[in-house]
Chain A
Amino acid sequence: MGGRTVIAYHRAQSLAEALGLLAEHPDRITPLAGGQSLLPALRAGRTTAATLLDIGHLAELRHLEDRGDTIAIGAATRHHELAGSELLAARAPALRAAAAAIADPQVRHMGTIGGSLANADPAADLAVAGLALDAQAVIEGPRGRRTAGLDALRLEAGELVVEVLVPVPSGAWSYQKFSRNALDWAIVGVVAVMSDPGGPARVALSGMGPAVVRAPAVEEALARGLGAHAAAELADDGTTPPSDPRADPDYRRHLARVLVRRALEEIGVPA
């Protein structure tokens, strides 16, 4: 792996073993699920790892279950499994669409939802959709079990995302992803959902800060009765969009306003 780091590999035999090892060696073990973010980062020298703990095959992390008002998704569920899920298509279609929008089929065959959320890229498809849906990540670690929203997902050493809980049904939805080409990360992405026609909307943005973020000014404007055009003008309120080779902050702000307007129109908010 680049010749820089001597890497050791261990395939966990159970979730309990993996959690035990992470608790015992929190700074020396890096969990490996699908590896579609971690392995390129290691090979490019953007991160280091001493021991890779492979959890990608653990049956305890591979479920996709309807629990009535929640869909529970095991952390090692592959993106292609989410993209092909009839359960998600029926009850959380925004998440299914986000999974189908990730990279390419090869990456979707390996990459996992837990790995994507733990990686916490601000442009990530599943994170922005999950945030709009108010999904919670279930995290296990040396100090026990906790849940976290997807805009506040910061893993401590030794912690592992084990499950994602998605409230359902999610109602009307829209995912607007703007990227340079099919393979690229979103420059800006917007997911809007509305459980009941005319009811409160949740709007989440990717690419507009150090993590995926909600757009509270838009949500409040809609609650006050503003239309899609007026509410969308507030899309970048309070955001801190980055400058990178893909786009500068002003362009991202413009994209956020345009994409939020399109998303609101698609979920049925009057102009």
Chain B
Amino acid sequence: MTSPPGRTTLTVRAVVNGARAAADVEAGTTLLDYLRDALGLKAANSGCDTTSCGACTVLLDGRSVKSCTVLAAQADGRDVVTAEGLATGDELHPVQRCFRQHHAVQCGYCSPGMVMAAVSLLREHPGLSEEQAREGLRGNLCRCTGYHNIIRAVLAAGQEGGA
């Protein structure tokens, strides 16, 4: 009997934060480990590692995903954006600026994932309501802020029309 096709190690090529990236990984490597360990991009955090907390959220082809629950291989040939890729030079992305203005941060561990989830949410629902903001961020846990400032920041970014 022949073996099924498939590689145990492979080269994953993706456009990450606007630049071509390539790295060899084991087939079971998550997108999160590809970004952090292979590419050295440390913004996306490993929180729960069980698809619950959202600290690892990045954009895959423009939409939020939990990078602990996506294989690097699934992202091959696709577009990935992490929090490192949001700002333009010294100019913060509108969502980042609103998080700062509204102090939507305490320890900061959830923040990169929270910001990426908010960017995706605002693209899908520009000018969203408070209910849509709370609903849309339900995949991201924060253990410090109580969420109020986060919701204020996302609503402010929505009113600016910025994502």
Contacts and interface: CB of A to CB of B under 8 A. Distances in A.
Indicate, yes or no, whether A interacts with B: yes
Interface of A: 1-2, 5-11, 21, 24-25, 28-29, 32, 35-36, 39-40, 42-44, 50-54, 56, 80, 84, 103-107, 109-110, 182-183
A46 to B, nearest CB: 11
B138 A182 contact: yes
Given A10-B4, A53-B6, A106 B73 contact: no
A7 B5 contact: no
Interface string B1-40: 0111111101000000000000000111110000000000
Given A8-B8, A9-B6, A105 B27 contact: no
A5 B28 contact: yes
B52 interface: yes
Contacts, number: 113
Contacts of A182: 135, 138
22 contacts: A1-B28, A5-B28, A8-B7, A9-B7, A9-B10, A21-B5, A28-B4, A39-B70, A44-B50, A52-B71, A52-B73, A53-B6, A56-B74, A80-B63, A104-B139, A105-B64, A105-B124, A106-B65, A107-B139, A109-B65, A110-B60, A110-B66
B4 A24 contact: yes
Contacts of A50: 4
Top 6 A-B pairs, shortest CB-CB distance: A104-B139, A1-B28, A8-B6, A10-B6, A9-B27, A7-B28
Most chain B beta-carbon neighbours within 10 Å: one of A25, A29, A56, A84? A25
A32 B70 CA distance: 11
A106 B50 contact: no
Contacts of B120: 105, 109
Contact of B121 (A21, A32, A39, A105): A105
Interface residues of A, dominant DSSP: mixed
B49 interface: yes
B69 A110 contact: yes
Given A7-B27, A104-B54, A105-B64, A36 B4 contact: no
Interface string B59-98: 0100111100111011010000000000000000000000
Contacts of A28: 3-4
Contacts of B117: 105-106
